[in-house]
Structure 1
Amino acid sequence: MTALTLSTSAVSGLRADAIVVGVAKGTDGPVVAPGAEAVDKAYDGKLAGVLETLGASGAEGEVTKLPAPSGFKAPVVVAVGLGAVPEKDGSFDADALRRAAGSAARALVGAKKAAFALPVADAADAGVIGEGALLGAYVFDAYKENGGKDAAKKGKAPLGEAVLLGGKPRDKAYKAALERAVTVSEELNRARDLINTPPNDLNPPAFAAIAQTVAKEHGLKVQVLDEKALAKGGYGGILGVGSGSATPPRLVKLSYTSSKAKKHLAFVGKGITYDSGGISLKPAGHNETMKCDMSGAAAVFAAVVAAARLGLEVNVTAYLALAENMPSGSAARPGDVLRMYSGKTVEVLNTDAEGRLVLADALWMASEEKPDAIVDVATLTGAMMLALGSRTFGIMANDDAFRTAVHEAAEEVGEPAWPMPLPEHLRKGMDSATADIANMGERMGGGLVAGLFLREFVGEGISWAHLDIAGPAFNEQAPFGYTPKGGTGSAVRTLVRLAELTAAGDLG
């Protein structure tokens, strides 16, 4: 993991591989951003002109490298685009700073040390810049021939150290902002590692074992229900989905408690470690990335550990519903009826609509503790990707005010999200002549239908929100900002922010 430090050293005398400065997009060309004054002065005030000559415009995510001025101990200056010059108070949007730091860090992977001279107006700015640098420097190379420790020799290791300039190293607010950035980034990157791990190495028992190890390290209480305990308890959804696999399912409960807590949050994550679609097999071209179908479980796992590490004054319980959805002679069939943990029966019309089945059992288990709110996270439907694209997750809820609060938390931390409805007329499509409910309904509005299904398994009087992260959970395109190719850790920061707001009494 990249080290993160604050420094008040003069940028010219700092020994580093590169100095990162910001450049904004002005009406008449690039504009040097605050923080880069010393570098600009060393270029006789002509840094913007030099960058424009090199083709830079200040557009968001744009990275331009040029030799450092004479007398600087760092050999390279990296100018990163911040987007348009702010129109109001001159302050850059927090996520613009986070994305810029991430873009620069990606361009400097393999460097031992880089100094970030980006705009820092306060401790919050230092925190988001640090977070962007740590997330942007992420590399998953465990399965490469020269991965791991050998990667450093090949120049492929993550950035060794990110030094933030313009802050106040002894100020408590700055220290706290950096500590938070490190904690959240490390846990989000843990989620990314899990998502990127091949399914032959990360099956339900393996995921459960990792959860137990991490829980012990951070003082969390952990309970793992194996296939025998699931059968004894009547968890028909998880058992039904996992019945076709040679690897049995697991339901993991991780609990963080604070002696000062006044509220209790429950996070529920879909953990399909590989999704073939089961008997309703996915078509060719749709299987290759299905190791990411446990992204929801990875997100809630990372969030509860982060809450513990931050010492938040709120109780947080995470439920990881882990199964592998495979076709075999023992697999659940279309037409089967499963009796869920709640006692409700479900007719399985499509075995590729499996995520809602494992979540249903975990949601009811979470409801039994009567938390103040439940948030589930899942790569649930392709329909949500069709509706919102590959970078935005949908938010559904049984409480409009809570849905708004979740949406605002997501926006605050820079995670694109959008509130979605739960139209009552779509519920009728899931009526079954055989069981209490079917796991499929109308094809149009499929993401909303899935949300309506999940609502059936939330305890009465509990505020609940459902995050469908099918789009942003796994980036199949080129990296951008602080987002790598592969697992992204989507929703981790939103969940952590919800926990912080709840601890502070700012979430209704």
Structure 2
Amino acid sequence: MTALTLSTAGAATLRADAVVVGVAKSGKTLVVAPGAEAVDQAFDGGLAAVLETLGATGAEGEATKLPAPAALKAPVVLAVGLGSVAEDDKDASGFGTEALRRAAGTAARVLAGAKKAAFALPIGSPEDVVAIGEGALLGAYAYTAYQEDGEGRKKPLGEVALLGAKPRDKAYKAAAERAVAVAEEMNRARDLINQPPNDLTPAAFAAAAQAAGKEHGLKVQVLDEKALAKGGFGGILGVGAGSVNPPRLVKIAYTHPKAERTLALVGKGITYDSGGISLKPAGHNETMKCDMSGAAAVFAAVVAAARLGLAVNVTGWLALAENMPSGSATRPGDVLRMYSGKTVEVLNTDAEGRLVLADALTRASEEEPDAIVDVATLTGAMVLALGNRTFGIMSNDDAYRTAIHEIAGEVGEASWPMPLPADLRKGMDSTTADMANMGERMGGGLVAGLFLKEFVGEGITWAHLDIAGPAFHESAPYGYIPKGGTGSSVRTLVRLAERTADGEI
């Protein structure tokens, strides 16, 4: 695992395999960002000119390697693009933390295999340390659990030394610790998402939660198929009925002695989604191990809250099942009696996520938390609406929805507030049961949100994050986003817990 350290050494004097600097485009000019003054001086003030000769533009995601001059202890200089800044911003100081996060991630990916790199990127505040630290640790991520450790496989960057980060300053030290905790938990979520479904069954996921509970002092309760049947969790049982791997409902709770508020997080954990009897068509099954990304995000966020010692109670509910077709599987037309007592006619067994979430939402509501947030790779309709990099936010409270949207933007996660139009509810009426699990095809992501809303306790503030787009990245890596599981929404949930602890929400 990549280490993160704070260093007082200068960029010219620290021994490392490479020194990383930032560059940006200011008007028609390439400028070197703050933090790299010593490196620029080693090039006699001509680093930008040399990089322009090599074709560097300062564009976000760009990485340019060049040999270091003798004045530097590191043999390689890696210049990473920070994007465009205002034309009058000649020192490239007018960029945000997300630009730093992405640049650090790019550098860590490019330097895979190196033992140590000195990051001479702009650091003017503890927030910059969080961004660069997170970006570097997330960019260094690689899932190699099922690959042989041979010569052809590069290991992740060994150590990231942040220059100019004031290691004796408590705020900077706390910022580094926060970056490590959040990034490591995001990478925990990524590991779970990337794990093959023949190994990550509902029982195996529950065991991982129990192990983390022991390590971090969390209270973990696991309901197996017998306990679920005794409790009347018809939604979770109905989804898992076709699999030889029975479902689980996991409660993982972090409590703080000074906490005044409680936040409940509910995660969809379909460890593999074949669609059930409503089988997915060819080409749509190959990545369905990622359908537990919501549960992975919730799990990671609870552990991160514990590691950060936040003064808020955070309870995670992991609704775990494997959706498979078999002689025992739930059929289209079957009626399930949910944990709430409400009956649901199943018109499409591939609309299973809302069924497991409904039971978990009802159970979470019984504990009367101040707010509930559920996270799920719920609908393809949300991907059609917002694309592959943006998650949708729905809520029964417009102010809460706005707050989560702003928090997501603050931590660098793309999101968009979505409505819950009341007129779409009628499409879920059933002549057989209290309601159906399907409604109008158009606005399907909103219909799913309306379904979930029915199972939230009265008077409880609730939000729904549909992360179907950004949860799993199938194209080439970029910034700090790898191919495969991304850990989407973990940072948003952690910051939401921090804001809740501070009484700001």
Q: TM-score, normalised by structure 2?
A: 0.98
Q: 1:88: Cα distance to partner?
A: 8.6
Q: 1:470: Cα distance to partner?
A: 0.2
Q: Decide whether aligned partners of structure 1 residues 303 and 110 sit closer, same or farther in structure 2, where only a CA change above 3 A counts.
A: same
Alignment of structure 1 residues 210-221 onto 2, 5 Å: 210-221=208-219
For 1:28 and 1:40, the matched residues in 2 are separated by 19
For 2:370 and 2:446, the matched residues in 1 are separated by 24
User: What residue is the counterpart of 1:348 in the other structure?
Assistant: 346
Q: Which runs of 5+ in 2 are unaligned?
A: none
- Equivalent position SS for 1:12: coil
Match of 1:450, as an amino acid?
A
Q: 1:154: Cα distance to partner?
A: 4.6
Alignment of structure 1 residues 445-456 onto 2, 5 Å: 445-456=443-454
User: What residue is the counterpart of 2:109 in the other structure?
Assistant: 106
Contact kept? 1:275, 1:324, Cα under 8 Å: yes
Alignment of structure 1 residues 82-93 onto 2, 5 Å: 82-86=82-86, 90-93=93-96
For 1:183 and 1:277, the matched residues in 2 are separated by 35
Q: How far does the alpha carbon of each residue in 1:26-76 deviate from its partner, in whole angstroms, 9 at most, with x for none?
A: 212311111111111111111111101101000001000000111322110
User: What residue is the counterpart of 1:136 in the other structure?
Assistant: 139
For 1:132 and 1:388, the matched residues in 2 are separated by 24
For 2:357 and 2:410, the matched residues in 1 are separated by 27
Alignment of structure 1 residues 38-77 onto 2, 5 Å: 38-77=38-77
User: What residue is the counterpart of 2:482 in the other structure?
Assistant: 484
Q: 1:91: Cα distance to partner?
A: 3.4
For 2:467 and 2:127, the matched residues in 1 are separated by 27
User: What residue is the counterpart of 2:460 in the other structure?
Assistant: 462
For 1:185 and 1:6, the matched residues in 2 are separated by 16
Match of 2:446, as an amino acid?
L
For 2:147 and 2:9, the matched residues in 1 are separated by 38
Q: 1:425: Cα distance to partner?
A: 0.4
Match of 1:499, as an amino acid?
A
User: What residue is the counterpart of 2:12 in the other structure?
Assistant: 12
For 1:119 and 1:325, the matched residues in 2 are separated by 48
User: What residue is the counterpart of 2:430 in the other structure?
Assistant: 432
For 1:246 and 1:466, the matched residues in 2 are separated by 30
Q: 1:335 aligns with which of 333, 336, 344?
A: 333
For 1:165 and 1:88, the matched residues in 2 are separated by 26
- Equivalent position SS for 2:189: helix
User: What residue is the counterpart of 1:29 in the other structure?
Assistant: 29
User: What residue is the counterpart of 2:410 in the other structure?
Assistant: 412
Q: How far does the alpha carbon of each residue in 1:332-358 deviate from its partner, in whole angstroms, 9 at most, with x for none?
A: 000000000000000000000000000
User: What residue is the counterpart of 1:283 in the other structure?
Assistant: 281
Q: How far does the alpha carbon of each residue in 1:207-233 deviate from its partner, in whole angstroms, 9 at most, with x for none?
A: 001100111110000100000000000
User: What residue is the counterpart of 1:261 in the other structure?
Assistant: 259
Alignment of structure 1 residues 190-209 onto 2, 5 Å: 190-209=188-207
Match of 1:497, as an amino acid?
R
Match of 2:278, as an amino acid?
S
User: What residue is the counterpart of 1:366 in the other structure?
Assistant: 364
Q: Decide whether aligned partners of structure 1 residues 88 and 224 sit closer, same or farther in structure 2, where only a CA change above 3 A counts.
A: farther
For 1:10 and 1:115, the matched residues in 2 are separated by 9
For 1:41 and 1:166, the matched residues in 2 are separated by 17
Q: Decide whether aligned partners of structure 1 residues 209 and 316 sit closer, same or farther in structure 2, where only a CA change above 3 A counts.
A: same
Contact kept? 1:109, 1:155, Cα under 8 Å: no
Alignment of structure 1 residues 252-331 onto 2, 5 Å: 252-331=250-329
Q: 1:166: Cα distance to partner?
A: 1.2
Match of 2:112, as an amino acid?
V
User: What residue is the counterpart of 1:78 in the other structure?
Assistant: 78
Contact kept? 1:202, 1:273, Cα under 8 Å: yes
Q: 1:155: Cα distance to partner?
A: 5.6
Match of 1:15, as an amino acid?
R
For 2:126 and 2:279, the matched residues in 1 are separated by 50
Match of 1:465, as an amino acid?
A
Q: 1:2: Cα distance to partner?
A: 0.7
> Percent of counterpart pairs with the same letter?
79
- Equivalent position SS for 2:265: strand
User: What residue is the counterpart of 1:377 in the other structure?
Assistant: 375
Matched, 1:188 2:180: no
User: What residue is the counterpart of 2:235 in the other structure?
Assistant: 237
Range 247-256 or range 21-30, more displaced: 21-30
For 1:86 and 1:476, the matched residues in 2 are separated by 33
Match of 2:487, as an amino acid?
G
Q: TM-score, normalised by structure 1?
A: 0.98
Match of 2:140, as an amino acid?
A
Contact kept? 2:39, 2:72, Cα under 8 Å: no
Q: 2:175 aligns with which of 164, 168, 177?
A: 177
Match of 1:111, as an amino acid?
A
For 1:303 and 1:51, the matched residues in 2 are separated by 40
For 1:99 and 1:22, the matched residues in 2 are separated by 11
Contact kept? 1:111, 1:155, Cα under 8 Å: no
Contact kept? 2:26, 2:86, Cα under 8 Å: no
Q: 1:198: Cα distance to partner?
A: 0.2
Q: 1:306: Cα distance to partner?
A: 0.4
Contact kept? 1:29, 1:52, Cα under 8 Å: no
Match of 2:338, as an amino acid?
M
Contact kept? 2:26, 2:87, Cα under 8 Å: no
Q: How far does the alpha carbon of each residue in 1:79-108 deviate from its partner, in whole angstroms, 9 at most, with x for none?
A: 000001257983320100000000000001
For 2:365 and 2:373, the matched residues in 1 are separated by 11
Contact kept? 2:27, 2:87, Cα under 8 Å: no
Task: Indicate the RMSD between aligned Cα atoms, in angstroms.
Answer: 1.0
User: What residue is the counterpart of 2:119 in the other structure?
Assistant: 116
Q: 1:328: Cα distance to partner?
A: 0.2
Q: 1:145: Cα distance to partner?
A: 1.9
- Equivalent position SS for 2:12: helix
For 1:500 and 1:88, the matched residues in 2 are separated by 36
Q: 1:126: Cα distance to partner?
A: 1.3
Q: Decide whether aligned partners of structure 1 residues 427 and 220 sit closer, same or farther in structure 2, where only a CA change above 3 A counts.
A: same
Q: Decide whether aligned partners of structure 1 residues 348 and 131 sit closer, same or farther in structure 2, where only a CA change above 3 A counts.
A: same
Q: Deviating runs (4+, > 6 A) in structure 1?
A: none
Match of 2:146, as an amino acid?
Y
User: What residue is the counterpart of 2:393 in the other structure?
Assistant: 395
Match of 2:283, as an amino acid?
G
Q: Decide whether aligned partners of structure 1 residues 335 and 138 sit closer, same or farther in structure 2, where only a CA change above 3 A counts.
A: same
Contact kept? 2:213, 2:219, Cα under 8 Å: yes
